[in-house]
Structure formats: C-alpha cells, structure tokens
Structure 1
Amino acid sequence: MAADDPQVPLASLPVHDPYVLPLAHDGTYRLYQGVGGDPAGVEVRHSRDLRTWSAPRRVFSVPDGCWADPTSSPWAPEVHAWGGRFHLFTTLHQPAAELPAPRQGGTSFLLRSDDARWRLTPAARGTVVAVADDPDGPFTLVDPAAPVPPADAMTLDGTLVTDRDGRPWMVYAHEWVQLLDGTVEAVPLQPDLSGAAGPPVHLFRGSEASWQADRTPGNTALAPYVTDGPQLRRLPGGALACLWSSYRGRGTEYVQTWALSRSGDLTGPWEQREVLVGGGAGHGMLLDTFDGRTALVLHRGMGTPTVRAEFHEVDVSPDALTVRPWRW
C-alpha cells in the first residue's frame, strides 16, 4: 500500500457482503467487493487499521465466453490462501437462463414482489473459483463453463471450509426463490479447489432457525425463508459454527444469526442459535485482527444508498459467540 494512496473512511464507503482478509506478512487487510460494468468484476481495497481504506483496484473481470452475464456484478467475493496460491470465490449470474419455478408437491408457484428491485424468477446463479499468485490478482477463472455447485440449482455465497480430515468443501446457500424454504448446503472440492469432487450434501433449512418457530407457513407466510452468506469457524474444542443471515418477521428485518455443529462435523447435526445482530444487518464473517481480537464484520442497510460495513467484537467460546460493541 503506497504512502500516497488516498484513504477513504469506512463510514463513507458503500459495502455489500463484506469480506476482509488479514495478511500477516505485510500487516494489511484486504476488502473485496463486487462491482458492475462491462465487464463486471471484483475490486480490492487495502487498510492497516480497518478504519480507512485505499482506492479500489480491479482484481477480476467476468471473462468473455463465460456462462455468466458479463455485465452483472458478482456477489460476495472472498479470497482464501490454499496450496500456495490465492483463490477467489464469488457468485456470478445469468438472468437470461431461466430455471424451473419453485414447486411444493404438485403445485408450481409464481413468486411476486411489490419491490421492483427483486427478480423472483429462478435463473442461473452460482459460485465460481478463480486463482492468482497474489491476493491483489489478477484472478483467472478456473472453469468458464459452469459454477462449482450444480448448474441446475440457483445458489450463491459460496465459501471455503475444511472438514475434520482437512479436506476442502464449498458451503453455499440454495436460493429460496427456487426452493421456497432456502437451504445451506456443501459440496466437496478437488484438492486444488478446481471443481466439485462429489455431490452436494444438505446442512439445514432457513425455516429451522430457532426464532422462526412462531411463524406458520401459509398463503401469506410461505416465503421468504431466506438463507444468505454462510461463513464457518472452528471453535475452541472443535465444534463448528456457521454464520448465516435471513429475515425475521414477515420478511422485513434482515438479521445475522448462526448455527452450531457440536460434533464438529460439517454434516452436523446443526443446532440453530440466536440472532447475533438485528435491525437490518447481516451477511457477516469473522476475522482475527492484528491486535489479537476477533471481529464480526457485516453490512447494514442492504439495498439502500447508505449500506455500510459495521464491525463488532466477538468473544469466542467452545459453544458460544458473544457480540460486543467494537472499540476503535
């Protein structure tokens, strides 16, 4: 990060789906964001203190000949160090490739929204992997022909996790737009993360959230059981936590929640826990800061001109996550 690089305060920086990568070798953090354009792509910003950030730099562009629409902004980019290289996971879209409407039994549903921003017709969407030798890219798409999860499933927000044997998996959300009751699923990956190594497995459903228990599905409350932004963290003692986001009430309040696999197995069983942060905030991830703290970073105000990243401090125990105000 150059000394003359302009610094942008976090409070003035629009951020959706924040993902922050700490890099101990140079004492900096990377913040990755999807951006529109022709082609659309992913940008990165640098910081030393999480409070101010550099100007953006393009690290990935949706390539010509890819299955996805090159003008649709990628969602939820994140970068993982693996096998001596850096791997970008991000969700791409192809609105022109429609998928079958959601069904329950013999009934097919046509979903509608009063908000013109939301397209509720199932269409091709899924997480891809791109690789680079540097966290600042440029990243090259591994497979331009298809996403890693099954192409006939409308999926998003893929993230990397290893199981108890050290094998890599992609955990992702399967859209409620296709299922009505969204899910979190996982697919095993090849050792070099180049593609799927087997069929996906089901982890849990959005309707299983403990705070959804008083909501009875019906003609006015069928959807959304949204699942967004899964992120996983091994806890002290070996249990596995899965952060994820959804809406409570009648789809009005976006919240950050989590689930716990006490066994430490990716396949669970998963115990749904309480809301960590509410009031329109979610899609969070945990990171360890250079000053020895664990931070939860998420966004608040999704879909508004004032969407911003927000930090919280987290106490991590063998079976709990406790959120406290962030101290700058």
Structure 2
Amino acid sequence: MRLDEIQIRDPFVLYDPDEGRYHLFGSTDEDIWTGPATGFDTYWSTDLDEWHGPAPAFRPAPDFWSHTQYWAPEVHPYRGAFYMFATFTAPGERRGTQVLRAERPQGPYEPWSPEPVTPRRWECLDGTLHVEDGVPYLVFCHEWKDVGDGEVHAIRLTDDLRGTVGEPRLLFRASEARWARSIDRTEFPRVFVTDGPSMHRTRDGRLLMLWSSFGDSGYAMGVATSQSGRIEGPWTQSDEPLWPADGGHGMIFADAAGRLLLALHTPNRTPDERARFFPLEETPEGLRLRA
C-alpha cells in the first residue's frame, strides 16, 4: 500500500540496515481519542514508497493498566535491543510515557518499565529517548492540563531504561516560541500546547529539538536549539515554524543513502491524518525543507 492509504498519527520511522527495511510506527487505532485501544501496528518498506502490513507491534495483556488512548510510539535501538516509548492513560490515572522492549524492531513489544517513567503526579505525554555521552535521558511534555503553558522537560533514565534518576529539568515553555498561539480552553486564561519533542544532532554537532504546538494556521511544528549543545540548554526557539499549518508531531530520519527526511502527519484531523516525508537540510540557522 501507499502512505496515503494508511491512517496514522505521530509517525516515527526506524531504518534497520541489517534488514534493509524502514519500519513505520505511530498512533494507529482508528479513533485514538475515545473508546478501547487495540494497540500499536507497524508497517515496513524497502523504498519508502510501497508499504506492507499492518503487523501488530504491541497488544496489551488483559491486566495491562491502560486500555484507551494509546499515542505516539517511538522505537529506539539501545544496547542490543529495541525500546518503544509510548503514551498511555486510564480513568483515574495520570497520562504518561512507559517503556516497552522487543528483540526485533517490528516487535512484538512487551512492557519493560514497571510503570510510566514520566512523573506520576503530572499529566505527561510524548516521551522520547535522548542519549548523551552514553547517558540516557527522557525528553517529554508536561501537559497544559496541569500548567496552562505547556512545558518540555528532561530527566535522566537508569541505564536499563526501567526507571529514572533525580528530578525533571525544565527545558522551556511553549509560550517562549514567538510562533506559538494560545488555544481556547476554560481551565486557564491562556493555554499553550507542547507536543511531540524529537531530538536531532546535526553533522556539525548542534543539538536541535522538533516540537509541536498551535500557530496562526492551526497545528504546527517548530525547532528549538540548545545553545550549549547539551540537553540542559539553554534552549532558544526559531522565530517561524518549520511546518506552519495543519500538521506536525514530526521526527527526522536518514534514508539508506544518508539523506535526511522529515516525517510528520497532516492533516491534523481524524480519520484523515496521513504520514508524509519531506527532504530536509541542515542550515547554519537550523533546518530547512528542501524544494
């Protein structure tokens, strides 16, 4: 099948050079917002054009704590295995990111951390793995539902990725980006969303982060830059969004030839969301979509 035949949000692509395959993950339930969740599916391709699947990447056991709103799975190779970072919730529980593990990129994945690795007293989502000088970190969003002005935090993970060390560190708030706009909610006077942080180390060593919020034309995605080149920042925001309208929650991957591609979903409405890939280049200012 082609990408335009696959309903998916929050796309994440992992290239496995041993197999010569690209594996596509994402939020794949037909309605991710309500009702019981099925799990996560995966698709695979050798050329990024023709895709095969779906195959079940994760199906919860009957006693798994969450049975609704399965969001944003990412898969990262780490120390000889593959680890899925995904967002879960349940009635009476705080939303959070839990770690799952598999021996193969396509799965099947099983819970690895005993519970979410995001702070259990917070509403959190979209955790991603960042490894710096051999030390693993979780970068995640502290939701606007708690704080109004959504936040991005980092916390050190244990070496086995089953837990955390120390306290979260605030990296930035959504309103720090000039392009971000408040959305209309009654809980707070002003509400700024943070979604989908994704890390990228440039060829010249800069540390960048893609993240999504709402701009002048709806869901959008910008770029933040660590001025120190390290996870602690300080972080500065691009003046304009990289993707300005009706799409986001992106990530960067390299194809078999080493060319950078941006993956995101657009449009931002269910059930029409689809994964799309765009050639990307690094610039002295950050990132730029290629024509």
Task: Give the alignment's TM-score, normalised by structure 1.
Answer: 0.81
What secondary structure, in the 3-state scheme, does the structure 1 residue paired with 2:94 have? Answer: strand
- Whichever residue aligns with residue 181 of structure 1, its letter is D
Q: Cα–Cα, structure 1 residues 14 and 295, in superposed 2: closer, same or farther, change >3 Å?
A: same
In the alignment, which of 191, 204, 213 is matched to residue 224 of structure 1?
Answer: 191
Is this contact kept in 2: 1:18–1:32, CA < 8 A? yes
Residue-by-residue CA offset, 1:226-282 (whole Å, 9 max, x unaligned): 000000011233221000000024xx6110111001311101110101200122010
Q: Cα–Cα, structure 1 residues 25 and 221, in superposed 2: closer, same or farther, change >3 Å?
A: same
What secondary structure, in the 3-state scheme, does the structure 1 residue paired with 2:165 have? Answer: coil
Cα distance in 2, alignment partners of residues 194 and 143 from structure 1: 4
1:63 is the counterpart of 2:61: yes
- The residue aligned with 1:84 is 80
Cα distance in 2, alignment partners of residues 218 and 32 from structure 1: 31
Is this contact kept in 2: 1:238–1:318, CA < 8 A? no
- Whichever residue aligns with residue 233 of structure 1, its letter is H
Residue-by-residue CA offset, 1:51-70 (whole Å, 9 max, x unaligned): 221121112122333332x2
Q: What percentage of aligned pairs have identical amino acids?
A: 38
In the alignment, which of 123, 126, 145 is matched to residue 96 of structure 2?
Answer: 126
What secondary structure, in the 3-state scheme, does the structure 2 residue paired with 1:177 have? Answer: helix
Question: 188-197 vs 32-41, which deviates more?
Answer: 32-41
- The residue aligned with 1:142 is 112
Is this contact kept in 1: 2:7–2:28, CA < 8 A? no
- The alpha-carbon deviation at position 285 of structure 1 amounts to 0.2
What secondary structure, in the 3-state scheme, does the structure 1 residue paired with 2:146 have? Answer: helix
Residue-by-residue CA offset, 1:32-62 (whole Å, 9 max, x unaligned): 1334486621111111111221121112122
What secondary structure, in the 3-state scheme, does the structure 1 residue paired with 2:4 have? Answer: helix
Greater C-alpha radius of gyration: 1
- The alpha-carbon deviation at position 221 of structure 1 amounts to 8.6
More strand by share: 2
Q: Cα–Cα, structure 1 residues 276 and 64, in superposed 2: closer, same or farther, change >3 Å?
A: same
- The residue aligned with 2:165 is 197
- The alpha-carbon deviation at position 166 of structure 1 amounts to 2.1
Residue-by-residue CA offset, 1:152-184 (whole Å, 9 max, x unaligned): 110000100012x22000101111111110001
Is this contact kept in 2: 1:255–1:279, CA < 8 A? yes
- The residue aligned with 1:242 is 209
- Whichever residue aligns with residue 75 of structure 1, its letter is W
- The residue aligned with 1:105 is none
In the alignment, which of 155, 161, 176 is matched to residue 208 of structure 1?
Answer: 176
Is this contact kept in 1: 2:223–2:286, CA < 8 A? no
In the alignment, which of 114, 124, 127 is matched to residue 158 of structure 1?
Answer: 127
How large is the Cα RMSD of the aligned pairs?
2.3
Number of aligned pairs? Answer: 285
What secondary structure, in the 3-state scheme, does the structure 2 residue paired with 1:226 have? Answer: coil
Gaps of 5+ in 2: 30-34
1:14 is the counterpart of 2:7: yes
- The alpha-carbon deviation at position 218 of structure 1 amounts to 11
Cα distance in 1, alignment partners of residues 241 and 155 from structure 2: 26
Question: 166-175 vs 298-307, which deviates more?
Answer: 298-307
